[in-house]
Amino acid sequence: MPLLSLIIFAPIAITLVGAIFSPPKQMRLVALVSMLVGLALTLFAACTQFDWSGNHTAIVQVYGDSAQSSFQLRESIQWLSDFKISYIVGADNLSMLMVILTAVLGVFGVLCSWKAIDRREKEFYIYLLLLQTGIMGTFLALDMFLFYMFWELMLIPLYFMIGIWGSANRLYATMKFVLYTLVGSVLMLIAIIWMYFNNGATVDGVDTLTRTYSYEVMLATQQGSAAATFHHALWPFLALFLAFAIKVPLFPLHTWLPDAHTEAPTAGSVILAGVLLKTGGYGIIRFCLPLFPEAAVSFAPAITWLAVIAIIYGAWTAIVQTDIKRLVAYSSVSHMGFVILGIFSMNPQGMAGAVLQMINHGISTSGLFLAIGMLYERAHTREMSKFGGLAHTMPVYAALMLVMVLSSVGLPGLNGFLGEFTVLLGSMHNVPMLLDAQNPVSFAAYMNMTHYTWLVAGLATTGVIFGAVYLLILYQKTFFGKPAGAHDDHSHDAHHGDSHGHGGSYPDLSIREWGQLAVLGVAALFIGLYPKPVWKAIAPATRDALAPVATTLDKRIAELPNPGVKLASIQSETRLAAK
Amino acid sequence: MFVVAVGFGVFSLVVSPFLGKMKPNPTKLEPYECGIPTVGTARSQIFVRFYLVALLFLLFDMEIVYIIVWALAMTYKANAAVPGFVLYSMIVMAIYMAILLIGLVYEWKKGALEWN
Amino acid sequence: METAAYVPAINLHGILPFISLLAGGMLCLAADAMSGKEGSRRILPVISFVALAAALVSFLLPGYPTGSFLENTFYSDSFSRLGCIVILVSAIATTLMGPRQVIRRNLPSGEYYTLIVFAALGMVLLALANEMLSAFVALEIMSLSLYVLTGIDRRSGKSAEASFKYFILGAFASAFFVFGSGFLFGSTRTTFLADAHNYFATRGGNMPEGAEMWAFIAFGLVFVGLCFKLSLAPFHMWAPDVYEGANTPTTLYIATGSKVAAFAFLIHFAHAFSSWQIFTAPVTFIVGLIAVASMTWGNIAAIVQSNLKRMLAYSSVAQTGYMMIAVMVLVALPSLQAAGNLNATTIANDTTLIYNAISLYLAGYTIISILAFGIAFHIGGEGSMAAYRGLFHRKPFAAVGMAIAMFSLSGLGFLPPTIGFIGKFYLFKEAVRFNMTGIAVIGILTSVIAAFYYLSLIVTMFMKAPDEENGIELAGRREERIAGLGGGDAIVRVMLATATALIFVLGLYPGLFTGLAAKAVTTKPMTTAMVKK
C-alpha cells in the first residue's frame, strides 16, 4: 500500500471530491473528515508500519544508481525521465515526527476555522488541505526536485488564505510573505540544479559524476568519499541555507513573519507557526548538514551568532508589542532561534534539543495562536489593552492558556523546558565555535576567548528569561486586573458586535475549543514529564544528521596547528556525535 | 582614427550652435526653394483617392518589373534549349498571374477602382 | 515525358504548408469579394481555419522533409518545424477569436482573416528561411500583415496610434535587417546561410582585409533587426503601445506567432556564424547582455503598468529575455568545444537538448499566452484593470484560468508543475550545465520580481471586492448581444479549456513535446570548424 502517498494526497483528494457535492456550510465537515483520515493514516503508519529504532537500511535503485538508504515506507516512481526526476517519498524518524505534528495540527486547523470562516468556505478548506499536502510532501519527498515542488506548493495556498481571509493589512502581508519566501526558494532551485550536475567525487583530479536528483543517491555519493565534490561548495550551501533560513526565520530575514502571522486567519497562523516554520529547520537538518558538512562547519560560528541575535532580538521585540498575535510571532523568531542554535552546535545534545524544540514550538505556539484566535472570534481585536480580567469571566480559557504560556516560557515539567535546556546544554559545547577558537587567525583566538561558547550559551539563556517576561506580561495584562471594558470609555470599536460593550465579558470556551487546547496541553505535559519515548525517537535522527559533520569535524581537529587545552573535550564531543 | 572622425563630427555639431551668430529674420526662416516665394501652407490636403490610385499603380508596376525579368529569362537561348523549360515557366507565370488576377478582382469588387 | 526533365526537384510536401496558406489567403480574398458583409463574416473564419489547419497537419505529418529544400532557400529541422507548429497553433487561436472580435468592433472581416492567414504564411516562411533575401521577404509579408491587423480597428485612436508606431519602428527594423544582409553578402559573397556557414568554417581563420569587421557588422545589424521583432530590451519600446492598441487577438498573434518566427530564424542565422571561431566569445557576451537587460527591465517596468495588456507586453519582453539565455548557451557551445570542455560526439546531443529547451519554452509561452490573452479577450475591456477587480466573484472560471496563466508565466514550481515552470527549469538547467550559473541566478531572481506583478493581478481578481459603483460597460457588449454572443462563444471556451489542460499536461509530461522534438532529429549541431591559421 502506498501509505505515504496516501498521507500526502488522500486528504486533498477527499476534500476536492467533497467540495463538488457538499453545500458550502458543510464544507468544514468534509475538511475535518479529510484531516482525520490523514491523521488516521499517519498514526497507522507511525504505530504499526514504521520502525522507530533507526536501524533500517536497504539498497535502493534510482534510475540505475544504487545507494544505501535508511528511509522506510519508500515509494519510487520514475516520473520526468527526460530529466531523471522521479517521484520518491520515504520517511525516517525526523520526517515521521514532523509528519505526525503536521497531521495533528491539520485537524486543529480545521477545528479553529469552524466558526471563524463564514465566507467562501469551499475555497478556504481546499487551500487549507492543499497547504497540508504541500507540507506533508515537503517532509516526505526524497527527490530534490520533488522536494522543491512541494516546497513551492506550500506557498500558494497560504498566499490565498492570508490574502482572502486575513485582517486589514492582509494584501501587504501576503505579498511580502510570498516574495520573501520566493527569493530563497528560487535560489534553492538553482542550487538543486547545480547539485544535479556536480554530484560526485574528485579522484586524482578527475570528477566522476553521478547526475541525479535523488537525495538518497546524493547522500551516498557525498558520504562515500572524503573528496566529494560538494565539500568545496560554499554557495550551493548558502543558497539552500538562505531558503531554509527565510522559512525558519533567522534574524535578518524574519520580517515577513510578524506581518504574515498578524494578518493570517487563525488556521493560517496555527499551520504557519506549527509546521511551516519547521520545514526550514527540517531542511537544514536534512539537506544542509549532511550534504555540505564542510560549508556547514565553516559557516556555523556566524550562523550561531545570528541565532543568538534572533533569540534576544525576538524576545526584546516581543516585549514591546501591543498586538497579541504580533507578540507571539516575535516569540516564534526567538524560539526558532534556539532551533538554529541547537543544530549548529553540531553535537548530539544540541541537535536532539533542536528537533525537540521544533516539536515543542509546534505544540505551544500553535496552542497560543489557537487560544488567541478564540479570543479574536469573541472580541474582534488583538490589542492587549482592550482585554483584562479574563480570568474571572473565562476561567477554563485562562487555565488552558496558562498551560500554553508556561509551556512556551519553558517551565520545568512542561515540554518547552526540555527543548531549550538541551539546546543550551549543547551550545555550551558548540563544536565549530570551539574549533574556531583554536584557529590562530580567528577573532575568538585574537580576543583570547577560549570560553566563548559559554558566552553564546549565556546570551541565549537571557532569551529564556526575556521569554518569561513577555509571555507573563501578556498573560497578566489580558487575564488579570479589571475587565478593560468596565471603565473604558473608548471601547466603541465598530467590530464589537458580540461583546456588548464589555471588553471582559465573553462566553467561555465551547467543547470544540477547549478540546483543542486540552489535547495540546496534555501533549505538552506528557513530553515534559515523560520525554523518554520522544528522545528515543529523536536519537536516530540526530545520529544520521551528525554523522557526516562529525567526519569533517574530526578532520578539522586533526589539522589544527597547535592543539589547545580544549581539544580533548572537542574530540570527545565529536566522538559522541559520530556514534 | 575612428575616434578622431567621430569626435570631429560630434564636436562640430555640438559647438556650432554656441559659436555661430544667430540673427533670424522672416526671410531667413522661410522654407526656400528655387528662389520662388512660398505660397500657402505645405500641408495642403490632397484627395485620398489619389493615394489609392498611387498605391495600386505602385503595386502593378512592381509586378511588371518581375514579369520583365521572367520574360528576359525566357529569351535566353541556353534556357530555351532545355526541354520542358517553356512549359514549366508558363505554368509558374500562370500561377503568378492567377494571384494577381484575384487581387484585381478583389479591388474591383471592393470598389477601389471607382472614382466616386 | 520530356517536360519532366526540367522541373526542379521540388519537394511537394515541403511546400505544402506554403501552398495551403497562400491558397487559403487567396480564397479568403475571393470569397470576401464575392459575398456580402454577413456572408463573409460567416464563411471566412471557416476558410482561414481550414487553410491554417491544413498547413498545421502537413507539418505534423511524419513525412515532412528535413534538410534543405526549394533550392537551399529553406531549411527544415526539428526546431523550425516545431516553431511552425507553434506559429500555426497561435494563428488558429487568433482565428478562433475572430468572429467575436469582428462583431465587437465591427471590423472588415475580409481583411481581418486574410491578413491572419498571410501573416501566418510570412511567419512560417521566416521560421524555415535559410537565405537572407527569402527571410527578408518573409519578414515583410509577416510584418506588413501585422501592421494592418494592428490598425484594422479604424474607429479607435489607440489602434491607429499603435499601428503607426509599429509600422515606423518595424520598417526601421526591416531596414536594419536588409542592411545587415548586404553586409553579410559583402563579407561572405553569399546570402545563403548554409554557404555562409561553410565560408566561415573554411575561411573564418583568414578572411580578407576588413571582411571580419563586415561580418560582425552584418551579424549586429540583422540581430538588431530581429531584436526589434522579438521586442528585446533595449529594442522593445514599441511593444507596450502596440500590445495595448491592437485588438486582443492580434496582440496574441504578435506576442506569440511573430516572436516564434523571428526566434526560429535567429537560430538559423546564429548557426551560420557558429562555425566562425572568433565570433562566439563577443556574441555570447552581447546576447547575455541583451538577455539580462530584457529580463530586468521587462520585469521591473511591468510592475508599474495599470493596463493588463501593457503588463503582458513587458512580461513578454522578459519572457523573450529568458529564451535568450538558451541562445546564449547555444552560441557559446563552439567556444566551449574549442576550449576542450565538450567533445564532438556530445555536442550534437547538447545542441539538441538546448533546442528542446527553447522549443519547449516557446510552446509553453505560446500556450500560456493563448490562455492569458484569450481570457483578456473573453472578459473584454481591452485590458483595463477595472475589469479584473473581483473577477472571481463575477466569472470564477475566467479568474481561475487567468490565475493559472499568471502562475505559469511566473514560473512558480508548485505541484502539479505547469509548462511555464518546466520550461524555465529546462532553460536554467541548460545554463547551469555549461557553467553559466550567473545568468541563471539573474534570471531566476528577476522571476521573483515578475512574481510580484503576476500575483498582484491575482490579488486584484481574488482578494478585492468587485467595483459595484463603477461597473464598467465593456465596449462592444451591445453588438455582441445583438449577434447572440452575449455570454461569449463556445469555441473560445473550448480553446481556453484546451490551453489550460495543455499547461498541466505538458507540465506533467514534457516528454510528449520533447519526444516530438527528439524524433525529428537533424537539428544542425553548433559545431566549430577547427581551422588553424
Instruction: Kindly report, residue by residue over C188-237, the tens digit of the pLDDT.
Output: 889 999 889 888 888 877 888 788 888 999 999 999 999 999 999 889 99
Percent of chain B residues topping a pLDDT of 90: 12
Asked if the Cβ–Cβ distance from C3 to B84 is below 8 Å, we say yes
Average pLDDT over chain C reads: 85
Most confident of A438-447, C265-274, C341-350: C265-274
Smallest Cβ distance to B82: which of C6, C22, C110?
C6
Asked if the Cβ–Cβ distance from A156 to C407 is below 8 Å, we say yes
CA distance C266 to C260: 10
Burial of A101 (0-12, 13-18, 19+ CB in 10 A): buried
* Cβ count near A351 (within 10 Å): 29
The answer to whether chain B touches chain A by having 3 or more C-beta pairs less than 8 angstroms apart is: no
Q: Does C70 or B12 have the greater pLDDT score?
A: B12
Asked if the Cβ–Cβ distance from C432 to A187 is below 8 Å, we say no
C-alpha cell at A317: 521585540
pLDDT of residue C88: 95
Percent of chain A residues topping a pLDDT of 90: 27
pLDDT of residue C368: 94
pLDDT of residue C62: 80
Our count of domains for chain C comes to 1
Asked if the Cβ–Cβ distance from A175 to C455 is below 8 Å, we say yes
Asked if the Cβ–Cβ distance from B84 to C5 is below 8 Å, we say yes
* Cβ count near A202 (within 10 Å): 15
* Cβ count near C343 (within 10 Å): 9
Burial of A372 (0-12, 13-18, 19+ CB in 10 A): buried
Could you tell me which residues come within 8 angstroms of residue C286 by beta carbon, excluding any fewer than 6 positions away? Answer: C223
pLDDT of residue A101: 92
The candidate with the shortest Cα–Cα distance to A177, out of C455, B110, C42, C91, is C455
Tell me, yes or no, whether C476 lies in a domain: yes
Local confidence band at A237 (pLDDT 50, 70, 90 cut-offs): very high
Asked if the Cβ–Cβ distance from C455 to A178 is below 8 Å, we say yes
Average pLDDT over chain A reads: 84
Asked if the Cβ–Cβ distance from C4 to B99 is below 8 Å, we say no
Local confidence band at C140 (pLDDT 50, 70, 90 cut-offs): very high
C294: pLDDT strictly greater than 60? yes
Per-residue pLDDT reduced to its tens digit, B94-111: 999 998 888 888 888 888
Residue type at C165 in one-letter notation: K
Tell me, yes or no, whether C533 lies in a domain: no
Q: Does A385 or C44 have the greater pLDDT score?
A: C44
pLDDT of residue C467: 65
* Cβ count near A576 (within 10 Å): 15
DSSP collapsed to 3 states, A436-494: HHHCCCCHHHHCCCCCHHHHHHHHHHHHHHHHHHHHHHHHHHHHCCCCHHHHCCCCCCC
What is the rounded average pLDDT of the residues A481-492? 54
pLDDT of residue C2: 42
What is the DSSP-derived secondary structure letter of residue C411? T
pLDDT of residue A290: 87
- The beta-strand segments (E) located in C44-131 are 67-69, 74-76
Distance from CA of C89 to the nearest CA of B (A): 26
Per-residue pLDDT reduced to its tens digit, C295-317: 999 999 999 988 899 999 999 99
Distance from CA of C439 to the nearest CA of B (A): 33
pLDDT of residue C183: 93
Which residue in B89, B97, B102, B104 has the most chain C C-beta atoms within 10 A of its own C-beta, making it the best mutation to test that interface?
B102
Residue type at A518 in one-letter notation: A
pLDDT of residue C332: 85
Question: Taking a C-beta distance cutoff of 8 angstroms, is the pair A234, A257 a contact?
Answer: no
Distance from CA of C171 to the nearest CA of A (A): 40
Which residue in A9, A80, A147 has the most chain C C-beta atoms within 10 A of its own C-beta, making it the best mutation to test that interface?
A80
pLDDT of residue B22: 79
pLDDT of residue B44: 77
Smallest Cβ distance to A148: which of C413, C428, C514?
C413
CA distance A546 to A543: 5
Asked if the Cβ–Cβ distance from B106 to C6 is below 8 Å, we say no
A568: pLDDT strictly greater than 60? no
pLDDT of residue A238: 92
Residue of B nearest to C7 (CA): B88
Residue type at A241 in one-letter notation: F
CA distance A143 to A88: 6
Local confidence band at C93 (pLDDT 50, 70, 90 cut-offs): very high
pTM of the model: 0.88
Distance from CA of C94 to the nearest CA of B (A): 24
132-151 in chain A: CB under 8 A from chain C? 133-134, 137, 148-150
Contacting chains of A (3 CB pairs or more, <8 Å) are C
CA distance C126 to C268: 10
Question: Taking a C-beta distance cutoff of 8 angstroms, is the pair C317, C231 a contact?
Answer: yes
Which residue in C444, C453, C461, C514 has the most chain A C-beta atoms within 10 A of its own C-beta, making it the best mutation to test that interface?
C444
Task: Name the CA radius of gyration of chain B, rounded.
Answer: 27
CA distance A195 to B34: 77
Local confidence band at A434 (pLDDT 50, 70, 90 cut-offs): confident
Question: Taking a C-beta distance cutoff of 8 angstroms, is the pair A223, A215 a contact?
Answer: no
Q: Which residues of B touch C29 (CB under 8 A)?
A: 102-103, 106
Most confident of A79-93, A443-457, B25-39, C153-167: C153-167
C87: pLDDT strictly greater than 80? yes
Reading phi first (left if > 0) and then psi (alpha if -120 to 50, else beta), residue C189 is in left
Which alpha helices (H) appear in chain B, and where do they start and end? Answer: 2-19, 26-29, 48-75, 77-81, 85-110
Asked if the Cβ–Cβ distance from C415 to A148 is below 8 Å, we say no
Element housing A195 (H / E)? helix A170-198
CA distance C130 to C290: 24
The candidate with the shortest Cα–Cα distance to A132, out of A168, A112, A156, A148, is A156
Q: Does C144 or B116 have the greater pLDDT score?
A: C144
Q: Does A26 or C167 have the greater pLDDT score?
A: C167
The candidate with the shortest Cα–Cα distance to A71, out of A87, A86, A52, A57, is A57
pLDDT of residue C4: 46
Least confident of A275-284, A463-472, B44-53, C480-489: C480-489
Could you tell me which residues come within 8 angstroms of residue A451 by beta carbon, excluding any fewer than 6 positions away? Answer: none
Backbone phi, then psi, for A527, in 5-degree steps? Answer: -65, -35
Reading phi first (left if > 0) and then psi (alpha if -120 to 50, else beta), residue A86 is in beta
Smallest Cβ distance to C2: which of B83, B102, B106?
B83
CA distance C215 to C227: 18
Which residue in A193, A196, A207, A211 has the most chain C C-beta atoms within 10 A of its own C-beta, making it the best mutation to test that interface?
A193
The candidate with the shortest Cα–Cα distance to C112, out of C250, C260, C251, C259, is C250
What is the rounded average pLDDT of the residues C502-522? 72
Question: Taking a C-beta distance cutoff of 8 angstroms, is the pair A111, A104 a contact?
Answer: no
C-alpha cell at C110: 475580409
Tell me, yes or no, whether C32 lies in a domain: yes
pLDDT of residue A491: 45
Backbone phi, then psi, for A78, in 5-degree steps? Answer: -75, 130
Local confidence band at C478 (pLDDT 50, 70, 90 cut-offs): low
What is the rounded average pLDDT of the residues A519-537? 89
Residue with cell 513530553: A527
Distance from CA of C432 to the nearest CA of B (A): 39
pLDDT of residue A52: 84
Tell me, yes or no, whether C531 lies in a domain: no
Local confidence band at A565 (pLDDT 50, 70, 90 cut-offs): very low
**A13 contacts chain C (CB < 8 A):** no
Residue with cell 574528485: A202
Which residue in C353, C397, C415 has the most chain A C-beta atoms within 10 A of its own C-beta, making it the best mutation to test that interface?
C415
Residue type at A80 in one-letter notation: L
CA distance C281 to C277: 8
ipTM field: 0.88
Question: Taking a C-beta distance cutoff of 8 angstroms, is the pair A426, A350 a contact?
Answer: yes
pLDDT of residue A222: 80
Distance from CA of C107 to the nearest CA of A (A): 41
Annotate A299-346 with DSSP letters as a single string: HHHHHHHHHHHHHHHHHHHHHT--BHHHHHHHHHHHHHHHHHHHHTT-
pLDDT of residue B83: 75
CA distance C93 to C114: 15
A573: pLDDT strictly greater than 80? no
CA distance A219 to A73: 18
Smallest Cβ distance to A149: which of C414, C456, C511?
C414
Residue with cell 536534512: A286
The candidate with the shortest Cα–Cα distance to A377, out of A274, A267, A487, is A267
The length of chain B is: 116
Percent of chain C residues topping a pLDDT of 70: 89
Tell me, yes or no, whether C1 lies in a domain: no
pLDDT of residue A246: 93
Asked if the Cβ–Cβ distance from A193 to C432 is below 8 Å, we say yes
Contacting chains of B (3 CB pairs or more, <8 Å) are C
pLDDT of residue C532: 35
Q: Does C184 or C527 have the greater pLDDT score?
A: C184
Could you tell me which residues come within 8 angstroms of residue C485 by beta carbon, excluding any fewer than 6 positions away? Answer: C99, C100, C103
The candidate with the shortest Cα–Cα distance to C452, out of C341, C350, C300, is C300
Domain that holds residue C109: 10-519
Element housing A435 (H / E)? helix A431-438
Local confidence band at C516 (pLDDT 50, 70, 90 cut-offs): low
Local confidence band at C129 (pLDDT 50, 70, 90 cut-offs): very high
Could you tell me which residues come within 8 angstroms of residue A416 by beta carbon, excluding any fewer than 6 positions away? Answer: A360, A364, A406, A407, A408, A409, A410, A524, A528
A94: pLDDT strictly greater than 70? yes
